[in-house]
Amino acid sequence: MRYMTRRVYESEVTANEQIVPSPKAPAVGAPLLFQYSLKYKNQWAIVASMDSNLVVRALSALAHESRLAIFRLLVVAGPDGMAAGEIAQQLGLSPSGLSFHLKDLSHAELVKPRQDGRFVIYTANFDAMTGLIGFLTENCCDGAACAASGLADCGGNSQ
């Protein structure tokens, strides 16, 4: 991932370049993974290029039946997420197996854990999901409008 902070002008933004508005440069190693479009000129911005290693990790994590089921369940749960025990119960997974799969999904940054009292609540990372789908469909239909264009309206998107 490369970060570059600079002044961005409307004429510089191409169809393939997407920009994240930011008042300052991110910290080294900041978890900015995916790109969002900027429609304002003269904004300070972070220009981020999609790291293919992150895409490979995400797709690799989703290539396992249990991890795909976990991720889909968390997408259905929405921003409230689910406790690990509830996930294991609904999918019939052992606690150790679930822990292994959640670690893999977290490493791929598709799932975000948060502490809630004595429970760990897991939520789908909707920004990562939207970014991954956007990356996969970036050149879809040779630039023409297609079914994938409505994905930017995902409910969990925090931008």
* pLDDT by residue, tens only, the chain of 159 residues: 333 444 444 445 555 555 544 444 444 444 443 333 343 333 333 334 457 788 899 999 999 999 999 999 999 999 999 999 999 999 999 999 999 999 999 999 999 999 999 999 999 999 888 888 888 877 676 656 665 544 545 555 444
Looking at the structure, do residues 44 and 107 belong to the same domain, yes or no?
no
Residue 62's nearest CA partner among 138, 124, 139 is 124
Say if CB 6 and CB 17 are below 8 A apart: no
- 82-83 and 43-48 as β-strands: parallel, antiparallel, unpaired? unpaired
Looking at the structure, do residues 63 and 119 belong to the same domain, yes or no?
yes
**Full domain range(s) for residue 45:** 1-49
Residues 135-152: tens digit of each pLDDT? 887 767 665 666 554 454
Looking at the structure, do residues 60 and 37 belong to the same domain, yes or no?
no
Say if CB 34 and CB 112 are below 8 A apart: no
Looking at the structure, do residues 66 and 40 belong to the same domain, yes or no?
no
Domain count, the chain: 2
Q: Alpha-carbon distance 129 to 32, whole Å?
A: 13
Q: Alpha-carbon distance 130 to 119, whole Å?
A: 27
Residue type, 9: Y
